[in-house]
A and B are shown apart, each in its own frame.
Chain A
Amino acid sequence: MRCYDADERVESMSWDDAVASSIVNEYKHLAGATLPILHALQENFGYVDKRAVPLIADALNMSKAEIFGAITFYHDFRHEPAGQTVVKLCRAEACQSMGCESLVAHLKDAHGVEINATTPDGRLTVETVFCLGNCALGPAALINGELVGRVDEDLLDAVCKGQSHDRMAG
């Protein structure tokens, strides 16, 4: 698992108007460029800062309201940086049938970790998603972009303790 010291983390996340502008310019030629730009910004900064709104609006000749509206419509775009580890836990029907809701309860009861929030120390963000397409091997989660099937309490315990989520890491 990646380990940052606190300073380094702030460094990698901090917003930079010049960098953001260059990202916007890289994608603005695309037809319907809003989502590609927002994804690229979030990939670079970990979130979409509100300072992106006028930059994108200018580049695409759209109103600030339209850009703000787009950012807030889609669940993916974060308004502030996420924790070092991001767990997207599926809570749709197929994973419900395999007990995902008891995993949500376990996170809270055993670790004080709330869903759809980042822990106060900034180490862990747990988010709800509806379906990761791994419905025959549920409960499923994306942990730092890696798909994991048959998620159980032990695995979440390891993640909460900052250990590897890879059960086969030995």
Chain B
Amino acid sequence: MSTSIKIYVPRDAAALSVGANRVATAIAHEAKKRGQTVEIIRNGSRGMLWLEPLVEVETTKGRVAFGPVTPKDVASLFEANFLTGGAHPLNLGLTEEIPFFKNQERLTFVRVGVIDPLSVDDYIAHSGFAGLKKAVKMTGAAIVQEVADSGLRGRGGAGFPTGIKWKTVLGAEADQKYIVCNADEGDSGTFADRMLMEGDPFTLIEGMAIAGVAVGATKGFIYLRSEYPHAYQTLQEAIRTARAARWLGPAIGGSSYAFDLEVRLGAGAYICGEETSLLESLEGKRAIVRAKPPLPALKGLFGKPTIVNNVMSLATIPWIMANGAKAYADFGMGRSRGTLPIQLAGNIKQGGLIEKAFGVSLREIIETYGGGTHSGRSFRAVQVGGPLGAYFPESLLDTPMDYEAMAAKKGLLGHGGMVVFDDTVDLAQQARFAFEFCAKESCGKCTPCRIGATRGVETMDKVIAGDASKLALIDDLCHLMTDASLCAMGGLTPVPVMSAMTHFPDDFNRASKRMTPENLAAE
């Protein structure tokens, strides 16, 4: 064969973490040895992370997947004619027919894993910038209305209607307004932002540009956590490329609008995911949470009206603008419209990114998509929504993934992360960790969070040592932190704690059974 065959090997950090670079090198080397012309494209990940490194070959029938591939497999793949989709133990068939992938509703992630993330041409060939092209011909108010009509709610976790936030900024009078992207994806069990920034960065750039056009902001910042070095490099390169192609700069996409962007790195502080703390950090200060009001929409970055939106929210805007608010709102249930990029993680056999319309049950995600635990032991708990989310037992797995339905079960959807635990987990230890995490990451401004978290750790230590009478204190402390903390850090730390106590009382009582006379004497 003399024609160049396209081979896709992901550049996504998760794929790299299991050897994707070595696989790409091995393929290039083997192809050269055999005199085969191949074009290796470093795409984002398809999100089937247990199959990484997932190598795809473009064939006449579509892209055929092979995975998980190691460098040692490469020679045998060539022997088996994998370039034409030949039979091989690692051949998974057409990528888009793999059930995990096929049964998703990919809107925000429609291009992730499909295109070359840094090719503007590839992006445009897959409907990229269609939303922005429409937006520059609309009034700001019409764009904001479109976003409001889509029903999009902040995907960072709070679920605040994006359209309302934008409307406030649109209505504010100022010489300068800002668009700030919250890319401080600190919740354990979440990686959707990272995957999108590495796999389709132009979508985020386009979403931010649309926001700028809508509210009259000319400058944007992406506040990215420093734990994401690969996303940082990809974003930097994407911004340079977009600027060179004039999708950023004084006349974006040939319009009369100016918009430009900068990426700023965080420095390992979880609290910077809270929007006002993030703004303090961007201004170069200690990331101490601000009291609201004033809202950041009116007095945000450097005191100017500012949209602060999560990566997922902003990256969904281009799809909404291109396809219309109604098409987006047709997905979902209740007041949760559209789709949610769910991240299935922890002790799970088939972990990864699953974008589904709101309303899918936790059970379907864990059992049908996830295929049970990685360890093969039985399922015991799932923490939904990050470190501030609830631990749910098996009996709550039929809860639909919907903001209100989760709240009704005293849980939260957060940023859509799910961390699965097998039956070796000790929920009393997890409750203790929730306090410990809060103590480490609290900004220190308000007393309930700063002191409460530390008291929580100390009291949980007593409970774990066997003094179950201290559970009443934990309960009291949780109420105080919920009611009196300044932000969600202290205010939601009780969620994992209380859910663990409510649904897994045995773990707390098991501790009290250890309260033998010898143990007491030791104390």
For B49, list chain A residues within 8 Å (CB): 136-137
For A76, list chain B residues within 8 Å (CB): 226, 266-268
Residue A85 is within 8 A (CB to CB) of chain B in the complex: no
On whether the beta carbons of A70 and B284 are closer than 8 Å, the reply is yes
Given known A94-B188, A130-B270, contact A34–B13 (CB-CB < 8 A)? no
Residue B58 is within 8 A (CB to CB) of chain A in the complex: no
CA distance A129 to B437 in the complex (A): 11
Residue A150 is within 8 A (CB to CB) of chain B in the complex: yes
On whether the beta carbons of A93 and B286 are closer than 8 Å, the reply is no
Contact string against A for B residues 306-331, beta-carbon threshold 8 Å, 1 for contact and 0 otherwise: 00000000000000000000000000
Residue A52 is within 8 A (CB to CB) of chain B in the complex: no
CA distance A90 to B227 in the complex (A): 10
Q: Which of A77, A136, A146 contacts B352 (CB 8 A)?
A: A136
CA distance A73 to B344 in the complex (A): 31
Contact string against A for B residues 1-29, beta-carbon threshold 8 Å, 1 for contact and 0 otherwise: 00000000000011011110010000000
On whether the beta carbons of B189 and A33 are closer than 8 Å, the reply is no
On whether the beta carbons of B387 and A97 are closer than 8 Å, the reply is no
A-B contacts counted at CB < 8 A amount to 163
Q: Which of B19, B264, B437 contacts A36 (CB 8 A)?
A: B264
CA distance A145 to B17 in the complex (A): 11
Residue A16 is within 8 A (CB to CB) of chain B in the complex: no
Number of interface residues of B (CB under 8 A): 63
Residue A95 is within 8 A (CB to CB) of chain B in the complex: yes
How near does chain A come to B217, taking the closest CB pair, in angstroms?
14
For A94, list chain B residues within 8 Å (CB): 188-189, 345-346, 417, 419
On whether the beta carbons of B227 and A33 are closer than 8 Å, the reply is no
Residue ID in chain B nearest A128 by CB atoms: B440
For A69, list chain B residues within 8 Å (CB): 285-286
On whether the beta carbons of A134 and B348 are closer than 8 Å, the reply is no
CA distance A131 to B229 in the complex (A): 13
How near does chain A come to B113, taking the closest CB pair, in angstroms?
14
For A149, list chain B residues within 8 Å (CB): 14, 17-18
How near does chain B come to A113, taking the closest CB pair, in angstroms?
21
User: For window 57-103 of chain A, which residues contact chain B by CB distance below 8 Å?
Assistant: 60, 62, 66, 69-70, 73-77, 88, 90, 92-98
On whether the beta carbons of B189 and A93 are closer than 8 Å, the reply is yes
Residue B160 is within 8 A (CB to CB) of chain A in the complex: no
For B249, list chain A residues within 8 Å (CB): none
CA distance A31 to B230 in the complex (A): 24
User: For window 263-291 of chain B, which residues contact chain A by CB distance below 8 Å?
Assistant: 264-270, 281-287
On whether the beta carbons of A32 and B284 are closer than 8 Å, the reply is yes
For B286, list chain A residues within 8 Å (CB): 66, 69-70, 73
CA distance A34 to B17 in the complex (A): 31
Chain A residues in contact with chain B, CB under 8 A? Answer: 31-36, 38-39, 60, 62, 66, 69-70, 73-77, 88, 90, 92-98, 129-138, 140, 142, 145-150, 166-168
Known: A93-B189, A97-B425. 7 other contacts (CB 8 A): A31-B302, A35-B284, A60-B284, A98-B374, A134-B13, A145-B229, A167-B19
